[in-house]
Amino acid sequence: MGDVTKLIARRLVYGALTLLVVSILIFFAVELLPGDIAQAVLGQGATKETVAALREQMGLDQPAPVRYLHWLAGAVHGDFGVSLISGDRVSAVIGPRFLNTLFLASYAAVIAVPFAITLGILVALLRNSIFDRVANVVTLTAISSPEFFLGYILILFFAVKTSAFPAIASIGSHMSFGDLLYRSFLPALTLVLVVTAHMMRMTRAAIISLLASPYIEMARLKGVSPWRVIVRHALPNAWAPIINVVALNLAYLITGVVLVEVVFVYPGIGQLLVDAVSKRDFPIVQACCLIFAATFILLNLAADVGAILTNPRLRHPK
Amino acid sequence: MSHFVLGYFAVLIAASCLAAYFGRRPVFMLLFVLTLASALAGLFGGVPALRFLTGAAAVLALAAGISYAFREFLAIVFGGEAERELKNAPLTAIFGLFVIAVYAIAAVFAPIIAPFGQAEVVSSAFAPADAHMLLGADQLGRDMFSRIIFGARNSVGIALMATLLAFFFGALGGLIAAVRGGVIDTLIGRIADVIMSVPSLIFSLLMLSIFGTSIVVIVIVVAVIYSPRVFRLTRAVAGNIVVMDYIEAARLRGEGDWYLIRREILPNATAPLVAEFGLEFCFVFLLISGLSFLGLGIQPPTADWGSMVRENATLISFGELTPLIPAAAIALLTVAVNFVVDWMLWRSSGLKE
């Protein structure tokens, strides 16, 4: 067991380091602005006094590394400073929206993961049949379409032509759970379509490469029943790639959410980020980027740790 | 039950019988599933759902027919070695080539094909389609059709530039890392790891919020974000080549690094790199379209597919299909490139099971 703990510990340390480097990147990217933030926010027409006042308010008189440490310490406690445009606390703006985004992403994930893995395994077992080819073309098309294309097609069919679901996913905290599910169905379905296609292809590839390995052939040749080959011989080694596929696609979901939220005017963190970028509200941009990047890194970390934990060769060392 | 529905199922069942008679098991299975699916669709969606299925089948048949004709055309034009390759190519790949060719023609000859300029206001806002404006007007009264044609030049051109730049950075980094090894290898590898650990859309949004949204900035930012993927592939491919004996021999001959890269490694690494170029182009194209859709990419009045979707999105709530055409144009090109890449990977992998 010692090997596994060491491997996981090393991976965790590496993940933490990556997160630290990424936070440095996000913070100091803003320092690349010509002039400084105060100048950029107030524009060319600002008087010297107002620029100086804003500088003081934002603590720009201190050197950048000190400000970075302050920012990082605040971020760890969930405090990202104050919005440059509205003056609200960034954490107060982000908090509820982050929960909305998490809700949308998990809604999509709960539908997509079992669906995609079942389909992926099925297609792998039926490989080179006509169904496999049809599935290949269909999933390729879904992957290649921009999220907003799928989203608008769903709006056209389910909201405009049949009015079965609302086109604009306006949700609030006072709604019942069923109502939330109903109103955010179309954005979730868009994400499900894209993620399912990705996940199916990856599951198929993983299972096929597994079924081609010599020890499966050996099991088949010695007369083990097909069902037993899959459950007893293939599945223990298939967990690692499947967990990997799931985690990678959840990470993908995090990015896909931005475009989908804008299409359906869903009050989530992705929409907030896009608004903040066009208004150049840097504290919000930095906070959103850090949250997205942290989620992304965590999910990738989970993929690696899951792969280590489910690897039979590591769990039962000789 | 209308005549259409009866005819629909009669054709399906007759085709199934034919397939069974000629012993074509896969075709029969496909038709069988299609019949079941149509029955379900008919139950829930009624006649419109069946009409939609018929339309989709007609479009597929048309695409297959075009690809078949295009394959014959290409085989005649090129002849010889290429003819045999083309005859063995799947129809999907040929369809991909056809779409790419059409886009290239539209992009190159845009000013000749398009009846109006891309920023020219020729009518009232959202004017319906007529003989002069094939697809109607957009939210400012510009001709949609002309803008879609010009979009082929702008959107695809910028994505192509960004991909080329990403390839230049990534492939150069990968080759140098493979040839030199040691500290340089580790250093470039770590930088690539950091860039890849931030989601690409988020990273580009961060950079665009700082440097503003000009075309130069977009091209450079997107190139930097996607170069690590190229780097990793090049590093892996070149890493396998560098350990070969003929590289050792060239080194002993006293050849420099640049010679090794140019004359010994690159010729052996072309096939996977070309396939990766196609894939990379798809990612870059989708990212830039996404940014444009968010209003942060290519800025108006330049015609661009992503921003055209956003600007005309209100039309969708009236059941209009026009705003979806630029989005479909994006999807079609990405699918086409993917089909061709699939074919190339399949050819170069030698896995022809």
Choose among A272, A293, A290, A271: nearest CA to A281: A272
Helix axes A90-125, A130-144, angle to 10 degrees: 160
Q: How many CB atoms lie within 10 A of CB A184?
A: 23
Cβ distance A255 to B319 less than 8 Å, yes or no, reads no
> pLDDT-derived band of residue A232, with 50, 70 and 90 as boundaries?
confident
Cβ distance B200 to A293 less than 8 Å, yes or no, reads no
Provide, as residue numbers in chain B, all residues whose Cβ is less than 8 Å from the Cβ of A255: 199-202
- Choose the CATH number for A99-303 among 1.10.3720.10, 2.40.50.100, 3.40.50.720, 3.30.420.40: 1.10.3720.10
**CA of residue B293 relative to chain centroid, distance:** 17
Cβ-contact A277, A285 below 8 angstroms: yes
pLDDT digits (tens, 9 = 90+) for A188-210: 999 999 899 888 888 888 888 88
Amino acid of residue B218: I
Q: Sign of dihedral through CA atoms A13, A242, A139, B275?
A: positive
Per-position pLDDT tens, chain B of length 353: 678 888 888 888 888 888 888 888 878 888 888 888 888 888 877 777 788 888 888 888 898 899 888 888 888 888 777 777 787 788 888 999 999 999 999 988 888 887 777 777 777 777 777 767 777 777 777 888 888 888 888 889 999 999 999 999 999 999 989 888 889 888 998 888 888 888 888 899 888 888 888 889 999 999 999 999 999 989 988 888 888 888 888 889 888 888 888 888 888 888 888 888 988 999 999 999 999 998 888 887 788 898 888 888 888 878 778 888 899 999 999 999 998 988 888 877 654 44
Q: What is the mean pLDDT of residues A178-196?
A: 87
Tokens read off for A181: 């599910």
Give the closest-approach CA distance of A14 to chain B in angstroms: 11
Choose among B210, B205, B295: nearest CA to A40: B210
- Note which residues in 204-243 of chain A have CB less than 8 A from chain B: none
- Note which residues in 130-149 of chain A have CB less than 8 A from chain B: 130-131, 134, 137, 140-141, 143-149
Q: What DSSP line would sit under B306-353, residue for residue?
A: HHHHHHTGGGGGGT--TTHHHHHHHHHHHHHHHHHHHHHHHHHH----
Cβ distance B201 to A255 less than 8 Å, yes or no, reads yes
List Cα–Cα distances, B136 to A75, A140, B109, B144, in angstroms. 50, 31, 21, 6
The reply to whether A285 touches chain B by the CB within 8 Å rule is yes
ipTM (interface predicted TM) = 0.86
Provide, as residue numbers in chain B, all residues whose Cβ is less than 8 Å from the Cβ of A288: 202
The reply to whether A160 touches chain B by the CB within 8 Å rule is yes
Chain B residue with CA closest to A18: the answer is B194
Cβ distance A140 to B210 less than 8 Å, yes or no, reads no
Query: Would you list the domain boundaries of chain A?
Result: 99-303
Q: How many CB atoms lie within 10 A of CB B239?
A: 16
Cβ distance A146 to B327 less than 8 Å, yes or no, reads yes
Alpha carbons B292 and A2: distance in angstroms, whole number: 51
Chain A residue with CA closest to B320: the answer is A156
Provide, as residue numbers in chain B, all residues whose Cβ is less than 8 Å from the Cβ of A297: 197
Chain B residue with CA closest to A27: the answer is B206
Provide, as residue numbers in chain B, all residues whose Cβ is less than 8 Å from the Cβ of A14: none
Q: Is the pLDDT at A166 greater than 70, yes or no?
A: yes
Which class for A303: exposed (0-12), middle (13-18), buried (19 or more C-beta within 10 A)?
Answer: buried
Please state whether the predicted TM-score (pTM) of the whole model is above 0.80: yes
Q: Is the pLDDT at A217 greater than 50, yes or no?
A: yes
Alpha carbons A183 and A197: distance in angstroms, whole number: 23
Alpha carbons A270 and B98: distance in angstroms, whole number: 37
Cβ-contact A162, A202 below 8 angstroms: no
Q: How many CB pairs under 8 A join A and B?
A: 142
Cβ distance A149 to B331 less than 8 Å, yes or no, reads yes
